[in-house]
Each structure stands twice: as C-alpha cells, then as structure tokens.
Structure 1
C-alpha cells in the first residue's frame, strides 16, 4: 500500500511539473504574441480612444484648467457638424525615391478655400448629425518638489475631476518642459490605447468639434486607401503650424547651448497646439532615453522625428499657435495665448474680442503657407 501511495505521489508530482511547464510556455508565448499596441506604422490602431488630449498645465493654474473644462472640452461630444468631405482631404504619396510628398502651396491654399466655403454652408444644428467620438482629456502636471499645501490642492482637484496626469518624478518648470513631454508620452503609451494625441497648452483654445470632425475624415480616408502604401510605411500625421526658418537662440530663456545640428532649427510645429498619431508617440516612447532634450519642447519634438521618412507634416494656417496671436480669423481652429475671458467669448462664438481698438498698432506674426520645395530661409514667404 505504501508503494502504491508513493507511485501515486510520484505520478502526481510529474503531472504537476509537466503541466506547469506547459502552462508557463503557453503564457510566455501569449505574452510574445504581437498586438496592435506594439505594431508601429499600422494604418489604424483602433484604440479605445480616437483622440487623447494632453493639456500641459502648471501646478498652480487651477483656474485655467477649470476654464478649459467649462469651455472647449465640452465641444467633443456629440459632434453636431456634417461630416467633413473626404475629397477635401490630402493624402501624401511617396515619390520614386521613397520620400513622402508634402502639400505644395497651391494645395494648401485650395484646402483653406474649401474649408471656408464648407464652413459658410455648414449647419451645426442639424439634429441628424450628432456623432459621439470616443476621446479622453488629461491635464499633465509635474509634482516633484511641490509643497505639501499645493500637493493637497492638486489631489483634491484630482478627486473631484479625475482628469490629471500626475508625473511624480518630474519638476514642473518651463526649463523642464521637454522632459515633461517625454515622460507624459511614456506614461500614456503604457496606460492608454488611442489613435491620435492633441498636445495643447493651458492657455490654448481648441475648436474641438471641428478639429475632431476633420481628423476623423482624414483617418477614414487613410484607412480606405491603405493598400496604396503596401510597399511603404504608413504616413504618420504631424499636424500644426510649422516653422522651418527659425535661427538658433543664443540668449534669454530660449537659449539652446547644445543645438549644433544646423544654423537653424529643423522644421517643427509651434508648441501652442499640434496633433500627432500613435506611431509617432510609439517611436518617442521607445527611444525616450536616447533623445536629446532641448530647451524648447516643440523644437525638440520636430528634431526627434526629423529623420523618419513616413512623417506627414501637415502645415495648417488654421493653427494659431505661436508665442503671440496672429490677426484673428474666424477659420482658426487652435488658438494660443487666450485668457479666461477670451476663452468664454470663443465658446460663445465671439471670435475676435481679444483684438484691441488700436489693432493697427500691434505688430502680429505673419500667417504663411509652407513651401516644402524651398530652402529654410525661403520656406515661409508665401503670405496668407
């Protein structure tokens, strides 16, 4: 009987061992199975969120965050506009040498004309055009080194709204903004599933309904034309107002002592607001520890992805995202440097209240179309 019990025990142990090996091997293989989350350059990730909105905010700017919650963040759901026509959407193609072709100046002018014409005939109150697009927003805040009082206030805000991305190992300062962007991209790539990111500052107003509407049309057209890119990487969208002629800053808070790649910054979208696709976020996350962090985050961002051949740099005059507002236009979609009062005015569709009575005395930045066929010193001379 004792021998029989020993045999049963032996066979049980052997069964448990082999079953454990089988189970372990199965789990390891499952873990190694490629998923959409790890596939760079896929045409459409089809994430849980179509658009992830990251708003970079200073820890003490409670009022700015509340203003944004009460204004443009309310515009995303439902979208009450007619679907933006896909025939107005430009899809870049590769040339014979494998370079992705950007829109020329004529295409950019025509696209703006189409949008203004569509805007003038668009009926946003059509009850049949109410679409819910899954998006999520987060205010990005670095909390390292903050006082206990400020931390308590931020935690209270988080308990009330649950919309803060708190980076506990990041000092929140302008000089550390590039690192803040890097760490936030790492965080969302590890925690969330999405297709596109909108990066904005906490003094930026976004006509979010129009922006998502057009982004959705672009995305759908890209999916429908997926086969034409079968021999090349899928274009990754980088959408904003680009500068390619900015000279290296040698003094002041924007001084870049370590930028020696060229005598000008490489083309970049101005930092008040821009959109980029998940493939770009994945590249940045995968290489974050090797990327140089220059003082200006938007210059850093443009430099990081400058060598990638599948970046669609979509220059758009509707992004008013510079260090000060350009002359007000009702077709602007992303508007930087707006106060609380101006945001509420914009939300009520009073578009140009920020312009002073002595507007002719204000020297505002020029609005231009980008000529990708010219050298950096002549890229931005075609005035809108």
Structure 2
C-alpha cells in the first residue's frame, strides 16, 4: 500500500512539473500589453505607396479640418491618364560614378510639356487606379494646456490620424527635432515607398503628384538592373530647391550652429518635398549623429548633401516659397494657403489668394536650377511666362 502511495506521489509530481512548464511557456510567449495614451485604430497593414507627413501646430484645428475635407480625401483613386514615362527623367551615372543632373534645356522642355499636360487633363478620360496613401498630422503635446490636449485627444479618437509626440514641446525651435521624431515613428510602424513632408498650410494636388510618381517608380524599377555594383540606385529628393539662401542671423529663424559655408547648402523648401524610403531610413538611422539646425528643410539638405546617389529633382510646380508665387494651373504643391484657400482650390478656384492690387505685389519668380554651375549662380534662370 505504501509502495502504491509512493508511485501515485511520484507520477503526480512528474505531471505537475511538466504541466507547470507548459503553462510557463504559454505565459512567456504572450506579448505584454502595450499602453497607448491615445489609442488608435490606424490600419496596421503596410505597403503604402505615398505617406503624407503633415507637420502641424497643436492648436491648428481648423487647418487640419480643412485638409481632411479637401486634399487628404483625394489621390487614393487616380482617374487621370497614365503619365507618359518617356517624359520622366531618370538620371544616369557619368564615367566617374556621379549622378548626372538635369540640364537647363531638359528642365525647360519638361516645363513646357507639364504646362500643356496640366491643361489637357481638364477634358481627358482617365483610367481608374487605386493606390494606398496615408496621412498623419504630427504634433508635440508636452506642456500643453489641458483644453488643447483634450481637443487633440478628441481629434485622434474621431479621425485616427494624429501622430502624437508626448515628450516634445511644440515650438519652432524644436521643429527639426519634431521632424526627426516623426520620421522615426513613421518608419517603425509603416512600410511605404515615398514620403511627402508638408506643413499644415500646404495644399497638395495629390492625384497629379501620385500619377507622376507612379510612372517614375515604374521606370526606375524596370531600369534597376542598370544600377549595379559601383552605381547604387538613385534615391528621389523632389521639391523646389534653393542653393543661394542667406543664413538667418535674427529672429526665431536664427542659426547658431550652421558654420559649414557662407550660405545654406542646397535644399528643397520646407512647404513640401518628397523623399524616397531609403533616404528617410538613412536620416532615421543616423539621427544620433546629425546636427539639428533651426530650419528643418535646411537640415534635410545638409544631411543628404554627402550622398552621391541622391536625385535632387527641382520642380517649379512646388509653389513653396515664403509667399505664394504667381498663380499657375500646373502647380501641384501650394504652400501658404489658408483653410479658405484650400477649400477654394478643392472647388477649382485656384487663384483666390491673389489680391485686388496684384500688380503691386512683388511675388517670387519661378526659377529653374542650374546644377552645373556654382551654388550662387543656381537660380538665375527664370521660368518662361
């Protein structure tokens, strides 16, 4: 009898041991619960073609509302004809393995075509195509008044399109850090091909931008085999470039640490520019080594300056100066627009920002970019009227 009891005790102990181990394995494999201050229902699937990162001030509720009701609703479905790939410039490498930029003549010819193309789209019959596009509004919430925090929380619970940076105080001085934090969070969570960074006072003709970007991407993919060995694939940096801007020495724009040269290194103006996924990841991976200058667009230009496989595409259709340029039908990224202007553009009224005394307003002229000249002589070639 005692022997039987010993056997029962033995097998009970063995069973308990293995059952306890089994439970431990199950519990260890369970992921810990992740706490999110602003719970979001953002789609977790990836493979986004174009990601819109909108840098927004916390209290700019009306601007975000206008974007949601206008251009952020567009572009997911493209109804335009395919943008002709023979009009897409794809840079090649020279004998010294440097990318060859577009010549002034090539830029001039393309601008003539693009103006005609924009005009032709009015009466064109397009092909319906769908693309995965996503937007997020990046805001810093550290030290915000309770009422503003509460409104942002309400926005997120309603639209699920807020990129919250709770440890960042939102100010112009922190703008470059804000960009870096936003890029880091976006790359960690989403898989995308291209990223468009814009401000919350920028209107984007998304359908036009996506249509052309798709043609560029397809042409690049087909030509990928041409870039092997010592010739890495060109990476897109697309916007309106300036190479002779004076370094700011006063006000909130004052640069205390930009001592690389007498003027800013060529950069795409911050109202809107496109970066390939590779360039975004390069910035994120090296963020701990990069100097954060006061202006985020100046910073991006400086960060990417050493890379030899960057295709800097200068495009006058990016109206991203300090004030709007003379209104053109072919503009596709339009900075310094109010909420009212955005709704006007959305309804086909492109030029409502212009004043009654427009002839007295000295608006910036559109320039082509001479990449084969020194930076001080970059921007003297004005686009023909």
TM range (shorter): 0.7 to 0.9
- Answering whether residue 58 of structure 2 is matched by residue 52 of structure 1, we say no
1:215-234 matches, within 5 Å, as 215-231=213-229, 232-234=231-233
| Residue number among 160, 170, 178 corresponding to 1:162 in the alignment | 160
- RMSD across aligned positions (CA): 2.3
Tell me the equivalent position of 1:289: 288
- Answering whether residue 150 of structure 2 is matched by residue 152 of structure 1, we say yes
1:246-265 matches, within 5 Å, as 246-265=245-264
Tell me the equivalent position of 1:280: 279
1:356 Cα offset (Å): 1.2
Counterpart secondary structure, 1:69? helix
Gapped runs of 5+ residues in structure 2? 30-44
Distance 2:187 2:259 in 1: 30
| Residue number among 133, 136, 143 corresponding to 2:134 in the alignment | 136
Tell me the equivalent position of 1:374: 373
Structure 1 contact 81–123 (Cα < 8 Å) conserved = no
1:113 Cα offset (Å): 1.2
Counterpart secondary structure, 1:165? strand
1:119 Cα offset (Å): 2.4
Distance 2:366 2:133 in 1: 30
Counterpart secondary structure, 1:275? strand
Tell me the equivalent position of 1:177: 175
For residues 156-176 of structure 1, the C-alpha deviation after alignment (integer angstroms, 9 at most, x for no partner) is 010010000001111111111
1:93 Cα offset (Å): 0.8
Gapped runs of 5+ residues in structure 1? 25-45
Structure 1 contact 82–124 (Cα < 8 Å) conserved = no
Distance 1:124 1:220 in 2: 26
Distance 1:245 1:310 in 2: 22
- Answering whether residue 327 of structure 2 is matched by residue 316 of structure 1, we say no
Structure 1 contact 81–124 (Cα < 8 Å) conserved = no
User: What number of residue pairs does the alignment pair up?
Assistant: 353
| Residue number among 193, 196, 205 corresponding to 1:195 in the alignment | 193
Structure 2 contact 115–329 (Cα < 8 Å) conserved = no
For residues 62-91 of structure 1, the C-alpha deviation after alignment (integer angstroms, 9 at most, x for no partner) is 100000111111221211111100000000
Distance 2:145 2:70 in 1: 30
Using the size of structure 2 for normalisation, the TM-score is 0.87
Structure 2 contact 91–100 (Cα < 8 Å) conserved = yes
Compare 192-201 and 71-80 and name the one that shifted more: 71-80
C-alpha change, 1:109 and 1:374, in structure 2 (3 Å) is same
Distance 1:191 1:124 in 2: 40
Tell me the equivalent position of 2:337: 338
Structure 1 contact 268–303 (Cα < 8 Å) conserved = yes
- Answering whether residue 139 of structure 2 is matched by residue 106 of structure 1, we say no
For residues 76-127 of structure 1, the C-alpha deviation after alignment (integer angstroms, 9 at most, x for no partner) is 121111110000000011111111111111111111111122222235663x
Structure 2 contact 119–329 (Cα < 8 Å) conserved = no
Counterpart secondary structure, 1:314? strand
1:253 Cα offset (Å): 1.8
Structure 2 contact 118–329 (Cα < 8 Å) conserved = no
* Structure of larger gyration radius: 2
Counterpart secondary structure, 2:287? coil
1:290 Cα offset (Å): 1.1
C-alpha change, 1:183 and 1:358, in structure 2 (3 Å) is same
